[in-house]
Amino acid sequence: MSTEPPMVKAVLEVARRQLGEVGPAALSLRSIAREVGVVPSALYRYLPGREAILTELIRTGYDRLGSAVEEAEATIARQDVRGRWIAVWTATRAWAVAHPHEYALLYGTPVAGYQAPQQTIAPATRVVLTLARIAAAAPVASLHGTANATVLADAEAVIAQLPALGLDADRVGVAEVLAVIESWTLLFGAISFELFGHLRGSMNHGEEYLEHLAHATADRLGL
Amino acid sequence: MSTEPPMVKAVLEVARRQLGEVGPAALSLRSIAREVGVVPSALYRYLPGREAILTELIRTGYDRLGSAVEEAEATIARQDVRGRWIAVWTATRAWAVAHPHEYALLYGTPVAGYQAPQQTIAPATRVVLTLARIAAAAPVASLHGTANATVLADAEAVIAQLPALGLDADRVGVAEVLAVIESWTLLFGAISFELFGHLRGSMNHGEEYLEHLAHATADRLGL
DNA sequence: TGTACATCAGTGAACGCGCGTTCACTGATGTAC
DNA sequence: TGTACATCAGTGAACGCGCGTTCACTGATGTAC
């Protein structure tokens, strides 16, 4: 990413543009080459094949979403914890609505036969980590959890990972972790439901509905 | 569905089987014909084309999921409202895990250029209606909602539709509707997150995590 | 300042593939008289 | 019981298409002496 040759940059830009028109499955190396103005085989000088293009689109996609969300969150006054929480929800949906195919690439059906490589994992956690950071900054609410042992163990394991991710875990308990992950799941569940058409006929106003959910979860977390 | 010619049934069976192997985008009419043991053009006697096969798979998919969930829910004693709620959650996930590609066809990225036809709408509501029926059967909990006006209006519109769907709406208020739709969104959000790999590294035990969410939402609804 | 050579970006043709859909047809099965 | 005809399921060839990837190549640019 840092020092990509201009040709690679151009290819990825065009690929992302075309992704916005046709969806991941139909994204074709030949069509990208055509728009870049080059013969298909020329791309092999810069990328090992079609799959590498998808990998790069996924990685940079998570990063673009993560940046958009972090930037939106950063504009809210630090002490306005609830406002920051709402901002993450709103910004995530706004990015998804603005880039529906890119969103689908990240959070829709995985591309067939495609296994997410290691390098895409870290960028993929940026949104949930932002949520976690906000929850951790809030005055401790007395969350009552009734999780089963397996879930508790998973939550404990998550807490153990937090310091390595740059998050102070002192004030974080399993109840907080579970609440944040549940909120995160609901956030992307609601966006996917809206974008994929499942709320048509019930919650027809996606933006307002997502705001409602943001407030409802903030209430529950005591933000 | 009721009186389909055997050839159509065979085609759909094979199509569903192949869907389980390759995913919706790669599902091919030629390959279906091959397995059915017939030349590709023969299928045109029974179906107008590839798109019609997808439509049928979607419609019957919603029905298969709906039936599985309703059957599981029906085995629980009527007065065990919480048990029925949990059963819906568990059965939905079980079906999704058992038929991941079919699930992805219904709840993953919509097939490119494919518009869900009218006939798929009713079957698609079976799971959420089951949830709604359970919530409506429960003793009224005092849910406190703080939704904005637009969301309230959408919720009211949903309530107005309920009688036509065979659901007694007398005891149902906006707070209940919003709670059910939120639960429904969370249910499918969690399943999609699990199946599409987003919970890897945090909630590694999908079954237990989903049970936890089922209980958490049941708590919130006062079931 | 000029020549010989190496590097390297991009070309062009070809590979083998599978796809959805069309169309005129064959040949078996069923019906009418 | 036998013949003439209609129905209909499925065939086979062809259409035009775009795909990912390979490979030997050209021709411009840069480097060394």
Average pLDDT over residues A71-97: 98
Task: With beta carbons less than 8 A apart as the criterion, state whether B136 and B171 touch.
Answer: yes
Higher pLDDT, B82 or B138: B82
Q: Which nucleotide is nearest to A46 (CA to C1')?
A: C9
**What is the pLDDT at residue A79?**
95
Which nucleotides of chain C are near protein (any atom < 7 Å from a CB)?
9-14, 18-24
Cβ atoms of residues A205 and A195 within 8 Å: no
B116 pLDDT band (50/70/90 cuts)? low
**What's the rounded Cα separation, in Å, for the pair A194 and A181?**
20
Enumerate residues 6+ apart whose C-beta is below 8 A from A127: A65, A66, A69, A88, A92, A184, A187
- pLDDT-wise least confident of A157-161, A211-215, B144-148, B156-160: B144-148
Using a CB-CB cut-off of 8 Å, the residues of chain B touching A172 are none
| Interface touch A203/B108, C-beta < 8 Å | no
CA distance to A82, A160, A173, A218, B16, per residue, from A138 (Å): 9, 20, 13, 11, 49
Query: Residue A5: what pLDDT?
Result: 80
Q: Is A23's CB less than 7 Å from nucleic acid strand D?
A: no
Task: Check whether residue B20 has its CB closer than 7 Å to nucleic acid strand D.
Answer: no
Identify which of A106, A88, A116, A120 has the alpha carbon closest to the alpha carbon of residue A184. A88
CA of B157 to C1' of D19 (A): 48
- Bigger pLDDT: B63 vs A166: B63
Measure the CA–CA gap between B155 and B136, rounded to whole angstroms: 15
Residue B1: pLDDT over 60: no
- Which chain A residues are within 8 Å of B148, Cβ to Cβ? 208, 211-212
Residue B213 has pLDDT above 60, yes or no: yes
Cβ of residue B21 closer than 8 Å to a chain A Cβ = no
Q: What is the pTM of this model?
A: 0.95
Distance A5 CA to C14 C1' (A): 29
Q: Which residues of A touch B121 (CB under 8 A)?
A: 201
The pLDDT of residue A76: 98
CA of B113 to C1' of C21 (A): 18
d(C-alpha B129, C-alpha A7), whole Å: 52
Q: What is the pLDDT of residue A102?
A: 95
pLDDT digits (tens, 9 = 90+) for A173-217: 899 999 999 999 999 999 999 999 999 999 999 999 999 999 999
pLDDT the model gives residue A146? 74
Å: B45 CA to D7 C1':
14
User: What pLDDT, on the 0 to 100 scale, is given for residue A166?
Assistant: 87
For B189-214, what is the mean pLDDT? 97
pLDDT in tens, A121-143: 889 999 999 999 999 988 766 66
Give the best residue of B143, B212, B213, B220 to mutate against chain A (max A CB count within 10 A).
B212
Nucleic strand D contact set for B 41-70 (CB, < 7 Å): 41-42, 45
Counted residue by residue, chain A has a size of: 223
Structural tokens at position B207: 């079954």
d(CA B116, CA B110): 9
Token pair recorded at residue B114: 């494919």
Question: Which nucleotide, over all strands, has the C1' atom closest to the CA of A36?
Answer: C10
Tokens of B73: 């829910």
Among B109, B186, B209, the residue with its CB nearest the CB of A186 is B186
Q: Is the confidence at residue A54, as pLDDT, over 60?
A: yes
Buried b (16+ CB within 10 A) or exposed e, B13-50: ebbbebbeeebbbebebebbbeebebeeeebeebbeee
CA–CA min distance A164, chain B (Å): 14
Q: How confident is the model at residue A172 (pLDDT cuts 50, 70, 90)?
A: confident
Q: Please spell the DSSP secondary structure of A126-165, one letter per residue.
A: HHHHHHHHHHHHSPPP-------HHHHHHHHHHHHHGGGG
Q: Tokens representing A171?
A: 């004030």
Give A212 CA → D33 C1' in Å: 75
Summary mean pLDDT of chain A: 92
Contact A186, A213 (CB under 8 A): yes
* Helix runs in chain B, H state only: 6-22, 29-36, 50-74, 81-98, 100-107, 121-124, 126-137, 149-161, 174-195, 206-221
Q: Which two tokens stand for residue B35?
A: 């397995």
Looking at chain B, the whole-number percentage of residues with pLDDT higher than 90 is: 78
Question: With contact defined as beta carbons under 8 Å apart, do A62 and B198 qualify?
Answer: no
Q: Say if residue B165's pLDDT is above 80.
A: yes
Distance CA B218, CA A123 (A): 33
Phi/psi of residue B173, each to 5°?
A: -110, 175
